[in-house]
Structure 1
Amino acid sequence: MTQNAIPSPNGLPSKPSPLAPLTQLIERRGTPAAVPHRIAHIVSVSGSQAVAVLERPIGDVNSERDPRIQIGALVKITTPSTSVVGLISAVSSPTPTMDAGSPEIGLIELNLAGELVVDPETNRLAFRRGVACLPSLGDPVLFADRHDLTRVYAQPSVASIKVGSLYQDPAVPARLLIDDLLAKHFIVVGTTGCGKSSALTCILQRVLAEHHYAHIVVLDVHNEYPSAFGDEAELIDPSNLNLPIWLLNFQELTEALTSSDAYRDAEAEILSDAVVIAKRRFLDASSVRSTSLARRSSESSSVTVDTPTPYRLSDVVAYIDEQLGKLERTQSTVPYRRLKARIETLVSDQRYSFMFGSLTVQDTMTETLGRLFRVPSDGRPITVINLSTVPAEILDVVISVISRIAFDLAVWSKGGLPMLLVCEEAHRYAPAGASDKFAPTRQALSRIAKEGRKYGLSLALVTQRPSELDPTVLSQCSTAIAMRLSTEKDQAVMRANTHDGALDLLDFLPLLSDREAIAFGQGVSMPMRIRFDDLGSSAKPRNQSAGFSAHWKSPNMDREQLEAIVSRWRLSGRERS
């Protein structure tokens, strides 16, 4: 009998086994050849789907030789030239019987995803997406062993990070392809308490462990990450944040300073003229000792309302006063007075001191950008911006400014400064719908989502309600980490944005336990069900849950502590709902 031949029922040699090339390759590498045990054979192929009939009784399970057949498990189908890899998407018995002793026919439905082929450069088996040689009727179906899982999910030739382990085999690491993950945006979704923050922290920690010169900015709206990254993080909050008013473009400035009633357009027109005049006055004053009169005149005339040039709010108020003095009695002064009052209120409010409270105006744009985006990193490649105490009425403006200047910096650096912008609770400030309230923020994030990858700027979105996130932003995320989702509406949105044969895996979303996820898209070799690594107590994001059972067993606050809280409350001027 020839080597690698399959014996026929009558004892005569049959045709060479389709596993022969793979078996010979293993033997050349010095490992005893072991042909995997077949569990089924193909009876139907349609496009990227196939159906196979089980060749063993249903329920006959040997954990070592025949692992349990379940949805999401990886199998391979041997063909004359390759091994086709697929995922089990459904298990059924078309003719169930009531007799416990009678065998039942079992069917498994498969989603085909790729192939195991011999890499001509390394002469080793490697995984390749897409199927060039489709399986046919009668082709054997085998369980993927640990070596196959490693070849598919942990490819050594591609830059990747380990974030957990496979659900199918906990001994096999779950790895994310870092370049595809970051270059094409990714999203982490899941209901409250399922471990989204821990999953994001795990991903970022693994990235930082191997990339000490990264540039990552985390918009932390719940103050969860101050201790998650240790000494590698630059911690910023409203007390040390410097985001001067002149960094705002006109749309953001209008959102912050004008009303939302019938006087909005009139106030916006006045504000536009006032800002241009204030910028010209500052430019003229700062250039007296350093430039000629002709050059000052040229710079001043080229200034627009969106030019990132410093100016004084006192000059804006002075212009408004000047115009008020020129108005006729018949003209309305309401827009002028309201705009002036709004500016004066913001300047005197301690909550807005990071934007309006500077007593002196200087051109600190380089210093501001350097600190926000870690240029140079100085051993702290990640910036965590605590936005939990930023007033809600201006939160979207702050996020809009940071997002927009990140994109502008990426454009002007011509892609020479790859950056990652992480947006927690993204549905809050980039909501679905046509509301004008969050228009600047939604536009800034949408622009990054659509064009950021061309300039090395990536988005990482975290949300518990993907159905409430702007569809344009969501559709641009090429990788999704989907954790437990309970509502049908959110599940439907994720299905609508699913590809790579992961649609059937999303049926598991309501059943996932904490720290489990379905990962699919460009950032993974194949859709996979994973469990994230445990970070340990010192590296976890802060848990803000109340812990009622522990807190209510003993006194947890006295009158003195309450008075201290009220004092801080009044000092900040913020009424928390």
Structure 2
Amino acid sequence: MSQSGTAIKATEHQEQKPAPALNRLIGRIVAASGAQAIVMLDPQRGGAVDNFSAPEMGSLVKIQTSSGVAMGIVSAVSIPAPAESLEEKEIRIAELELVGELEYSSDGRPIRFRRGITTFPSLSDNVFTAERTDLECVFGYDPEFDVRIGTLHQDPSIPAYVLTDELLSKHLAILGTTGTGKSCVVALLLRALLKKYTKAHILLLDPHNEYRPCFGDTAEYIGPETLRLPYWLLNFDELIEVLVGSEADRETETEILREIIPLAKTAYRSSESGGPRAALLRKPGPADQVSVDTPKPYRLSDVISLLNQTMGKLDRPENLAPYRRLKTRIEALTADPRYSFMFGSLTVTDDMTKILGQLFRIPVNGRPISLIDLSGIPSEILNVVVSVLCRLAFDLALWSNGSVPITIVCEEAHRYAPRDDSLGFEPTKRALSRIAKEGRKYGVSLCLVTQRPSELASTILSQCNTIFTLRLTNEKDQAFVRAATADAAPSLLQFLPTMGNGEALAFGEGVTLPMRIVFDTLPDDCLPSGGHGQFSEKWNKDIDDEDFLEELVHRWRHQARE
């Protein structure tokens, strides 16, 4: 754990020493209640009368208490009774939220910050601006573990860091309205982590193929042409969604497959070990029992053979319909090039270890992040693919006893885990929920990214112990974030609808203190490629390339992006 994290969680309360040089007085405490306090600003110090300026909302100030120095965030400023002319004196008020205490050395240097208040301010206690050294102590970092992502809004000269272990082990969320820079923040954060941790294991689900320029040679790009998720890796719920779909009357087909799939798996194992294919004709015994969910290879040709055998034993033609539908569906999927990553292999081999190695970078081989391009995946099975990837990540961590920590970055998370129970694919929600609730035990973390937090399942978002929220203009989304960050400084949430692009509020265990930050800037050649709507530029140029449409149609028909 980082030094700053240790300081935050320290339980021992040593006697604090007042700082000998608390300069830049701005006012005094005139009211205090619980975690709030009210400051009457000095008209000569807190106003714009001299070279001092009134404290801004969201900035940190410090209060000289009877036994030390308390820190507070300015939550509001006001003039209760405005004067009619500038010459008249006015009472200026600042409201504070108390967040912690600073401990100073005997020579006046801040040496430790602790969350929580042990000695509350009293009436007439002096209030001062927080100096640079104070901010450096409060937002300090451990260079061995922590990662820089930007600067403090209050003082751009102070870097903003995240505490790596606290950030990743307890899940995080990146929220913000479309166009505020979420994708840039994701790329910035991951690049910073990968620069420090070159043996990481990160899986990024990219629904729009926008992250490919961000990571260069450090990423393993897995698109529709290189993705391998064979059908036999699917569990039974996922397979039913692909082969049967969401038809109202699917019970018959489901029961047929529930009986046939284990037989096909047994037949494959028998043939691979040199046994007779006659295994197709019998049910597996105790020694070779497999379930419909066991990730064992089997041949679709064996499934069709079993369907044909069963149909040959039926007397009534009307009973053949579900078998024929299954055969037709399997044949259609096998012939559809869009499904080649799942059904396109001419031969069936047990290459599960190779698939896991490619997806989760084992070994890393200089590429600690996998970019899964989901833009070419048929929309009707997109949820199934996400379900498989999340389930495999959890099972890999489980059966490796946590020896391979994995972070899954889930863009547009509201699509896969919607708040509305009637929407989405239940196994996908179940896989994400399992990681959210149990992943920290085995080293699997989630990074949820969404522009619609109010549409994301609250049970999953509530497990994210660190939240970065960029500008949110929708009141419903703002209310949802307020509820999810109930223990954070409420005053900072007032900035949600007004922050600029590239700014965010950071809450939770991955940062030392709730803060408003300005993210660092990505190099131009590392920016995500999303956003092709330059109408004003492109509508001034004609497309005079005769081969443009020919190439477009070729890529369209062959499902090739390049």
In the superposition, the TM-score normalised over structure 2's length comes to 0.92
Amino acid at match of 1:408: D
SS at 1:518 equivalent: strand
Distance 2:557 2:498 in 1: 45
Please name the residue that 1:242 is paired with: 228
Of 296, 304, 310, which aligns to 1:309? 296
Deviation at 1:80, TM superposition (A): 2.7
Q: Tell me the secondary structure at the aligned position of residue 45 of structure 1.
A: strand
| 1:166 corresponds to 2:136 | no
Cα deviations by residue, 1:217-250 (Å, 9 ceiling, x for unpaired): 1000110111201111111001011111111001
Alignment match, 1:11: none
Paired residue total: 540
Matched, 1:22 2:19: yes
Query: 1:95 aligns to what SS in structure 2?
Result: coil
Shift of 1:378: 0.8
CA shift digits 1:411-431 (9 cap, x unpaired): 111111111000011111211
Alpha-carbon shift at residue 109 of structure 1 (Å): 1.1
Secondary structure of the residue that 2:264 maps to in structure 1? helix
Q: Partners of 1:346 and 1:282 in 2: how far apart?
A: 21
- Counterpart amino acid of 2:95? E
2:134 to 148, 152, 155: 148
Question: Which residue of structure 2 lines up, in the alignment, with residue 404 of structure 1?
Answer: 391
Q: CA deviation at 1:158?
A: 7.6
- CA pair 359-20 structure 1, distance change in 2 beyond 3 A: closer
Q: Name the amino acid aligned to 1:504.
A: S
Q: Which one-letter code corresponds to 1:443 in the other structure? A: R
Q: Which moved more, 1:233-242 or 1:37-46?
A: 37-46
**Partner of residue 6, structure 2:** none
Return the alpha-carbon distance in structure 1 between the equivalents of residues 16 and 89 of structure 2: 29
Corresponding residue of 2:516: 529
State the alpha-carbon separation in 1 of the partners of residues 238 and 105 from structure 2: 53
Q: Deviations over 1:511-566 (max 9, x none)?
A: 11111111111111111111111111112111332211111111135453113212
SS at match of 1:102: coil
Instruction: Look up the match of 1:106.
Output: 92
**Offset at residue 170 of structure 1 (A):** 0.5
2:490 is the counterpart of 1:503: yes
State whether structure 2 residue 195 is matched by structure 1 residue 195: no
Q: How does 1:7-86 map to 2 (within 5 A)?
A: 21-23=18-20, 34-57=21-44, 60-61=47-48, 66-86=52-72
User: CA offset at residue 436 of structure 1?
Assistant: 5.7
Q: Which residue pairs with 2:550 in the alignment?
A: 563
- Partner SS, residue 229 of structure 1: helix
- Please give the residue correspondences for 1:253-402 in structure 2 after superposition, counting only pairs within 5 Å: 253-288=239-274, 301-329=288-316, 331-402=318-389
Contact 1:57 1:105 in 2 (8 A): no
Structure 1: any 5+ residue segments left out of the alignment? 1-17, 24-33
Question: Which residue in 2 is equivalent to 1:136?
Answer: 122
- Partners of 1:257 and 1:339 within 8 A in 2: yes
Residue type of the partner of 2:448? Answer: L
What letter matches 2:290 in structure 1?
V
User: Once the 2 structures are TM-superposed, how far is the Cα of residue 159 of structure 1 from its aligned partner?
Assistant: 2.6
Give the SS at the match of 2:353. helix
Residue of structure 1 aligned with 2:197, choices 211, 217, 223:
211
In 2, the alpha carbon distance for the partners of 1:511 and 1:557 equals 43
Q: 1:428 aligns with which of 415, 419, 428?
A: 415
Structure 1, residues 396-449: CA drift from partner, whole Å, max 9, x if none? 100100000100011111111111000011111211111264111111001100
Which residue is equivalent to 1:542?
Answer: 529
Contact 2:35 2:98 in 1 (8 A): yes
Q: Bigger CA drift: 373-382 or 502-511?
A: 502-511
CA contact under 8 A between 2:208 and 2:530: conserved in structure 1? no
Give the structure 2 partner of residue 553 of structure 1: 540
Q: Secondary structure at the match of 1:87?
A: strand
Task: Name the SS of the counterpart of 1:241 in structure 2.
Answer: coil
Asked if 2 retains the 8 angstrom alpha-carbon contact of 1:113 and 1:500, the reply is no
Q: CA deviation at 1:56?
A: 2.1
C-alpha contact 1:48 1:112 (8 A) present in aligned 2: yes
* 8 Å CA contact retained: 2:18, 2:64: no
What CA distance in whole angstroms lies between the structure 2 residues aligned with 1:222 and 1:99? 57
Q: Distance in 2 between matches of 1:469 and 1:173?
A: 31
Check conservation: 2:59, 2:73, Cα contact below 8 A: yes
Q: Greater shift after overlay, 197-206 or 503-512?
A: 503-512
Question: Is the CA contact 1:113–1:501 (under 8 Å) kept in the aligned structure 2?
Answer: no
3-state SS of 1:154 partner: coil
What is the alpha-carbon distance in structure 1 between the residues aligned to residue 439 and residue 16 of structure 2? 45
**Structure-2 separation of matches of 1:207 and 1:239:** 28
RMSD: 2.4
Give the deviation of 1:262 after TM superposition. 3.2
